[in-house]
Amino acid sequence: MKKLLFTLFASMMALGAWAAHPSLLLTAEGVAEMREARGKVPTFDAAMARTLSGADAALAAEIEVPQPRDGGGGYTHERHKLNYYEMVDCGIAWQVTGQEKYARRVADMLKAYADLYPTLGFHPVTLSKTPGRIFWQTLNESVWLVHTSMAYDCVYDYMTAEERAYVERNLFRPMADFLMNGMEGNRGNNKVFNKMHNHATWATSAVGMIGMAMGDEELVRKALYGSDETGKHGGFIQQLDYLFSPDGYFTEGAYYQRYAIWPFMVFAQCIDHNRPDLKIFEYRDGILLKAVSTLLQLAYDGRFMRFNDALLKGYDAQELVYAVNIAYNADPSNKTLLDVAARYQDWVLPTDAGFAVARDIARGEAEPLTFHSALYRDGRNGDEGGVAVIRSTDPALNSAVSFKATAHGLSHGHYDKLTFAYYDNGNEVLCDYGAARWLNIEAKYKGHYTHENKSFAMQTVAHNTLVVDERSHFDGDYDESMKYHSDIWFTDFSRKGVQIVSAKERHAAPGVAMHRTVAYITTPFLQYPLILDLLRAESAEEHRYDYPMWYGGHLVSLNFPYEKATTTMSALGTANGYQHLWRQAWGHNGESATTTFTWIVGDRFYSLSTATTPATEMVLVESGASDPDFNLRTEKGYIIREQGRKNHTFFSSLETHGTYDLQVEQSANLTSSCEGVRLLVDTPEYTVAVAEYKGGHRVTLCVANASADAKTRHRVETSEGRFEWTGPYDVKMN
């Protein structure tokens, strides 16, 4: 006990003498406060217990620093990842307990890496354009260094000058140089380092953090202002200018915003501790805190909306623990962050920021996170379209619509202009496939994006939007798609009972102008809010127009006769994603001008009623054809096809209805109330669309197609009377 106290004392003295360490995610004051509070802040005690148990588990085994060999999910890959987690745990354990064994472990492991690193060429797995040395891609190497810098910062004062010199010379400086400049045989890292891209955020953060830990001002400058230190051709600060829109939206979408935010927040925390003069959290009108809050809004039930390349991740991802903790530390007035931490995240960082969060949760300061409808503009200047999210005004309804009309979204973007998705009652109702990938599962294409990500998941038909002539938007050409963006025509979330977004896309399908309007309407006569979807295609030439809707749950009924594949089933097409669709069933509706598809998800029913003609073909599909390695998930879609049309407008009523309680075996309202949908007027100037419901109710959506001006008055004469309104749209209900 005496010895322990002495060690603690000696370590605190050391901290006093070298105020500069720790100074990345921990500070000397922070560590003192953590020690003081031990046993008093349960969430933080748990975080610290977790860190100490991680550190102890590490100590229980020999150091393993294997020769790099495997890709994602393989042994050496995972081992090198575990190693940085272990070093961080041990570094923090040393700071908090002052027990030398922890510091020694970090020092010894760093020594082992310093022995190995100079011997390494490029990694043997050749799947990346910028291979790493420890890992198959440089990206993982940056992540390794971000973590290891934290550990080094913690044990810096413990290590002898000789030890530090050895690891800095053999490991940290060569690695920083590698991240900035690559090496003989592949200099691609230099381009990445100075790019406006999330891989560059990792690289600059890694270089900046190890620079701070080593006290190397030059590395810090290069990290902040790019290789040439001008701030004009790369670097962290320029990334803050370029990578987020003014609304804090990251162009790759929520899933990669989650990933991108991690190094941004970690390095910003380090900058805040080391260079408070930069006021990094206030930079660009507080862009980093705005980015965190936008990211939290781009989720449903704590899971990020799945547009573009995306797997199922959410607030519990470790990146979000970093983001939320550090954001709160930067702005403790935002008490909703405590709610996210308390409800979705089962741990806090064992750092100054994590301590602040745990302490203030314990003080009962959390305030509920609320969701609001909003448009998140895309593009550095906010002029490249955007993603709109509509939320139920009554939070108890827990429904959300996402509508994507953005720029392409860099390498993780999909060809899905004007796509939309619907979330309700805790479920994905109209879904986005997200990415075709089995992350970290080596047996699945080494954990990388599978071939089907490009051949299916990115293709237009995998999304709930218009496909022209079975070809994807921009013919799936990345460079072409990167040139353009959709345009928001109008949004309005302020009117009582009506929330609406409208956007146009002029480039995705050559010669075809697309215009989609999605309205979320609360009526007095339907059980749940109604969604009206108006998707217009205008062209001088004849086309085949496909309107796919990917649905969760199970088909209940269709209001037309259909044939279903029984003994053999064929792929629907041969290219552009269609080769991956099994054609389950098909039919025409000769009986009604409104075609209704009803399905069940969870304990609720959904009916999509669309205006059709007897020539319209309906096809039910399932993903999985042309998928030789079982890479695709089995998902189901419903496609409405119009052939040989110049202009065509898909108009649908999406009704949420029904109470289905299996446990008490009670059910009600299981059939749609929709009696018909039709286009009363549909010209280049105006669309007037009518949806009729049981009980003589009717909802009419009027859109001014040629003017989005808020003050212009419109008047349309129809066979059913005159419609008048002001501004780009109107919704009439009776």
Asked whether 665 and 678 are in contact (CB, 8 A), the reply is no
633 counts as binding a copy of itself under rule CB under 8 A: yes
Residue 571 CB, nearest distance to a copy of itself (Å)? Answer: 5
Among 46, 183, 482, 555, binds a copy of itself (CB under 8 A): 555
- Among residues 158, 256, 300, 545, which one is catalytic? 256
The order of strands in the sheet holding 498-509 is 487-492, 498-509, 512-521, 530-539, 648-657, 604-611, 594-601, 554-558
Nearest to a copy of itself of 119, 567 (CB atom): 567
Residue 226 CB, nearest distance to a copy of itself (Å)? Answer: 28
- Please give the Cα distance from 110 to 166 (Å, whole number): 9
Among 589, 598, 609, 673, binds a copy of itself (CB under 8 A): 598
Nearest to a copy of itself of 384, 627 (CB atom): 627
Over its C-alpha atoms, the chain yields an Rg (Å, rounded) of: 28
Q: What is the DSSP string of 270-295?
A: HHHHH-GGG-GGGHHHHHHHHHHHHH
557 counts as binding a copy of itself under rule CB under 8 A: yes
List of residues 6+ apart from 227 with CB closer than 8 A: 180, 181, 190, 193, 194, 233, 234
Closest CA to 323 of 399, 234, 248, 412: 248
Nearest to a copy of itself of 77, 164 (CB atom): 77
For 686, other C-beta atoms within 10 Å of its C-beta total: 19
Burial class (CB in 10 A: 0-12, 13-18, 19+), 121: exposed
Helix (H, G, I), strand (E, B) or coil at 692: strand
How far does Cα 537 stand from its chain's mean position?
29
Site string (558-597) toward a copy of itself, x via CB under 8 A: ------xxxxxxxx-------x--x-xx------------
Q: Which of residues 381-420 bind a copy of itself (CB under 8 A)?
A: none
Among 19, 615, 668, 710, binds a copy of itself (CB under 8 A): 668
Nearest to a copy of itself of 73, 174 (CB atom): 73
Peptide bond into 22 cis (omega under 30): yes
283 is catalytic: no
Residue 46: both structure tokens together: 């748990």
Site string (600-629) toward a copy of itself, x via CB under 8 A: x-------------------x-x-xxxxxx
List of residues 6+ apart from 92 with CB closer than 8 A: 26, 51, 55, 154, 350, 351
The number of residues that bind a copy of itself (CB under 8 A) is 58
Closest CA to 656 of 500, 528, 557: 528
Contact segment (CB under 8 A) with a copy of itself among 3-11, 21-29, 407-415, 434-442 equals: 434-442
- Please give the Cα distance from 368 to 649 (Å, whole number): 41
Nearest to a copy of itself of 236, 582 (CB atom): 582
Residue 276 CB, nearest distance to a copy of itself (Å)? Answer: 31
147 is catalytic: no
DSSP 21: S
18 counts as binding a copy of itself under rule CB under 8 A: no
Q: Which of residues 59-88 bind a copy of itself (CB under 8 A)?
A: 73, 78, 81-82, 85
Among 116, 342, 670, 733, binds a copy of itself (CB under 8 A): 670
Binding positions for a copy of itself, rule: CB under 8 A = 73, 78, 81-82, 85, 311-314, 316-318, 438-444, 554-557, 564-571, 579, 582, 584-585, 598, 600, 620, 622, 624-630, 633-634, 660, 662-668, 670-671
Catalytic residue numbers, as ranges:
256, 412
